[in-house]
Every structure is written in structure tokens, then in C-alpha cells.
Amino acid sequence: MSDIQHPDGARAQLLNAAQTGDWAARVLPQLADWSAARESAVLILFGVLDSIPARTVDAAVARDLDVLLQRRASTLSSHPGQVSFPGGGRDAGDRDVVDTALREAEEETGLDPTGVEVLATLPEIPLAVSNHRVTPVLGWWTTPSKVAAVDHAETVEVFRVPVAQLLDPATRFRSVTSRGPLSFKGPAFDVDGTIIWGFTAMVLDRLFDACGWTVPWDETDERSVTN
């Protein structure tokens, strides 16, 4: 990532990536019946680091940003203990997937959704292991609010991770998981011992590529991870 400040800023790069990035489906475990899978959404929320003294609606470069993540409770039936974006299944009262993402984020982290600008929705991604089809909703935190785990039966920790740390090549590796006779590899991040992998890491990896933020990293560094 260059230290030269992009004239349009990181927010504009995110918006452009959503509109022009390559979001075609890649090799993923496929849903047995797409129409029968539960419609879901997650909020990918970027904000300007608190350490930046002059908070504006934009940020000059990606290193000025962080992204909101949470750790799921180890007792959950799907993706227990994993780091994820806030989100969940669409309810009957939700007008659309944006409503779903904002409602779930508020319920799980306590954030104030009025401080979130929705930049775009990305194409649905199959999540076969829990039979969901997930729409990532890309957000910009115009007015950050306090966040914390609201219901510890679902979320045990909420935290903001600096994007610069996620882009650091020393943080990155390729996860290897096995399901029966099949083995799957994907991008992953080790943030001070917190492992981000699976769906969340894949979406971040593709978004960083689309924004042009990715720093070359050792893709031969493969490590086993477990559910």
C-alpha cells in the first residue's frame, strides 16, 4: 500500500470497489438448494481510527481506517467461536437486506445505525455450512458510537481492527480446513493471536483486492484451522 494519499480518499475507493470490483463467484462449497437457503446479511463497517485527530467524512488512505468485527459465542450451533461481521438472518419485518444488516448490528453490538452510511450491497455469497445466502452490506461509520457485546449468548466480544494491521503481510496466511474427504483453502489473518478466517476473511480479502489495498503476502504459508 502506497503512502501517497489518494485524492478521492478511502471511502471513495470502497464505493468504487463495490461498483466495479470482480465479485463473480469463486470456488466455494455450493448450496444444495439456493432458494431454500435462509436469506441473511452482514454489515462490513469501516470507520476512521479514533487516533486520527481531525475526523472527517472521509479518510485519506486505508491505513486511517478500522473495521468492526465480533467473536461469536462458542456455544452457537453454527460457526461457534469464530470472528465475524455483525449480521444474521432476515426477519419478516425487515424491509430489505440493508435493514437486516443494520438491525442485527444494533442488536449484537449496540451501535447506533443512524451513524452509518450505507455505501453499497455486494452480491449474495453462498454459505453452505450453515445453509445461508449472505449479502454483504458495505457501510461507512460517519458518526461512530460505543459498541460492546449485547447478548453474550450470541456474541462474546466486539472490537475494531485497524485495516493497516490486516494488510500487514506478517498478519496474513492461508487457512486449511477439512470436511470429510474434502479440503478447503482460503485467506486468513492472525491479529495478535485472534484468527480471522472463513467467510469473513474471504470477503475482506476480496474487498482489499478490489480497492487496490492489498500488499503482497506469502500465500504459501498454510496453516490448519478448525471450526
- Domain containing residue 204: CATH number: 3.90.79.10
Residue 6 lies in a domain: no
3-state secondary structure of 68: strand
Q: Taking the CB of residue 77, how many other CB atoms lie within 10 A of it?
A: 6
Residue 3 lies in a domain: no
Confidence (pLDDT) at 135:
92
Residue 222 lies in a domain: no
Residue 68 lies in a domain: yes
Residue 223 lies in a domain: no
- The DSSP output letter for 29 is P
Residue 226 lies in a domain: no
Domain that holds residue 129: 11-215
- When divided into structural domains, the chain yields a total of 1
Residue 164 lies in a domain: yes
Show Cβ contacts of residue 8 under 8 Å, excluding neighbours closer than 6 positions. 16
Per-position pLDDT tens, the chain of length 227: 333 344 468 999 999 999 988 776 565 556 556 566 788 999 999 999 987 765 555 677 888 999 999 998 766 656 667 899 999 999 999 999 999 999 999 999 999 999 999 999 998 887 766 777 889 999 999 999 999 999 887 889 999 999 999 999 999 999 998 777 777 889 999 999 999 998 899 999 999 999 999 999 999 999 999 76
Strands 38-48 and 132-141: parallel
| Integer Cα distance of 174 and 197 in angstroms | 9
Confidence (pLDDT) at 24:
65
pTM confidence score: 0.88
Residue 221 lies in a domain: no
Confidence (pLDDT) at 27:
54
